[in-house]
Amino acid sequence: MVATLAAVGLALLATACGVTPQTAFNPRSEYANEGLDLFVLIIWMGVIIGVIVEAVLIWAAIHYRRRPGDRLPPQIHGNTIIEVLWTTGPVIVVGYILFVTLPVIFRTQAPAPAGAMNVDVIGHQFWWEFQYPDANVVTSNELHLPVGKTVNLILHSDDVIHSFWIPALGGKRDAFPGHTNYIWMTPNSTGEFPGQCYQLCGYSHGNMRERAIIQSPADFQTWLTSQQAPPVQSTDPTAAEGGQLFQTRGCAGCHTINSTPAQGKVGPNLTHVASRGTIAGSIFENTAENLRVWLKDPPAAKPGSIMPNLGLNDHELDVLVAYLQSLK
Ligand code: CUA
């Protein structure tokens, strides 16, 4: 029985390790490293103190247990030595935690070092907008960054308070309307790292995800250049019809597609939407089926979505999906 339970427990633990990329235990920046180092230090201090306290407790409970014929032991109150010891002990422990934590707080809250790459991060219900002001690129939900380059994320919100958090890159920080916040870090390895809005911001707070895509400097530059290009003009007639419909069926009022009359600012910029791996606040893979489900009834796919159900018919859905998929 015990062996079975242990086996099940171990299996669960192994699964947990394998399928949780959204973890702070696999740090990919100096900021994330510092946070994890502090966490591990404090956990070990807690474990050591816990073991000592439990050992003394168990020893005392056994050694001084009540035996037959025992009378009430002498009652002592206010033993000065013990009072001093158990007051100064915790003060020293907590003081040490403060001593190692404060420098990390000051380092990670300080302004970004000179030469950092600026990215404006704007929270919306319920998706993230990323603007690269120096490159004139706007994208959403997928934050591309070059490895080894310090990035200064300039946090704003368009509506309510959100919180930007990619566990692999470090601590979370709030994005406020009407107030600018900053968070900076230097990604140290390539890969894709998921994150999650961390401030209850409405109905689909839990559906407000994001991912950091850390690339080699060359790959990042290639991506940036491709994002700067004007939208693809598809020769496929279905996609072209979708492009027309996009301008006339209401989409253009909320979304921008560079170099077209569509200049709406309410929803994500879709100039290169087909180059993204995910849609709708990074909750769905960017496939034709998911795009179709999404366009058909956005508030059903993501409760509280500001994108309305436009009542698109099957043909309209087909051509719009073809168009969006052509926007590489
Ligand atoms: Cu945005 Cu929670």
DSSP per residue, 264-280: --SS---TTGGGSSEET
Tokens standing for residue 18: 């394998």
Could you identify the atom of ligand 1 that is nearest to the CA of residue 201? 2
User: If we measure between CA atoms, which residue out of 150, 165, 144 comes closest to residue 118?
Assistant: 150
pLDDT tens for the chain, 328 residues: list them. Answer: 556 666 666 665 655 555 678 889 999 999 999 999 999 999 999 999 999 999 999 999 999 998 998 888 888 788 899 899 989 999 999 999 999 999 999 999 999 999 999 999 999 999 999 999 999 999 999 999 999 999 999 999 999 999 999 999 998 999 999 999 999 999 999 999 999 999 999 999 999 999 999 999 999 999 999 999 998 888 899 999 999 999 998 899 999 999 899 899 999 999 999 999 999 989 999 999 999 999 999 999 999 999 999 999 999 999 999 999 999 9
Q: Give yes or no for a contact between 255 and 269, defined as CB atoms under 8 angstroms apart.
A: yes
**Closest approach atom of ligand 1 to CA 197:** 2
Cα 83 to averaged position of ligand 1 atoms, centre (Å): 47
Taking the CB of residue 318, how many other CB atoms lie within 10 A of it?
A: 16
What lines the ligand 1 site, CB under 6 Å? 123, 126, 162, 197, 199-201, 205, 208
Q: Which of 195, 166, 208 is nearest to 302 (CA)?
A: 208
Closest residue by Cα to atom 1, ligand 1, is 162
> Residues of 225-247 as b/e, b for ≥16 C-beta within 10 angstroms?
eebeeebeebeeebbbbbbebbe
Residue with tokens 């990329």: 21
Please tell me the distance between residue 201's alpha carbon and the centre of ligand 1 in angstroms.
4
Answer whether 173's CB lies under 8 Å from 181's CB: yes
* Chain centre to alpha carbon of residue 208: 9
Atom of ligand 1 nearest to the CA of 126: 1
Q: Are 41 and 100 in contact (CB under 8 A)?
A: yes
Q: What is the residue whose two structure tokens read 């309510």? A: 160
Q: Distance, CA 211 to ligand 1 centroid (Å)?
A: 14
C-alpha 14 to ligand 1 mean position (Å) = 30
Contact 311, 227 (CB under 8 A): no
Atom nearest to 123 CA in ligand 1: 1
* Cα 266 to middle of ligand 1, angstroms: 16
| Prediction pTM value | 0.86
